[in-house]
Amino acid sequence: MKIIKRIAIGLVLAFAVFYLVTRPEDAANAVQGAIGAVWGAGAAVTQFFASLAT
Domain-embedded: residue 39: yes
Domain-embedded: residue 52: yes
Q: Write down the mean pLDDT value for the chain.
A: 94
The residue segments making up the domain with residue 32 are 25-54
The pLDDT tens digits of the residues spanning 16-32 come to 999 999 999 999 999 99
Domain-embedded: residue 50: yes
Residue 42 has pLDDT above 90, yes or no: yes
Residue 1 has pLDDT above 90, yes or no: no
Domain-embedded: residue 20: no
Q: How many domains does one find in the chain?
A: 1
Residue 27 and residue 20 in contact, taking contact as beta carbons nearer than 8 Å: yes
Domain-embedded: residue 14: no
Residue 27 and residue 19 in contact, taking contact as beta carbons nearer than 8 Å: yes
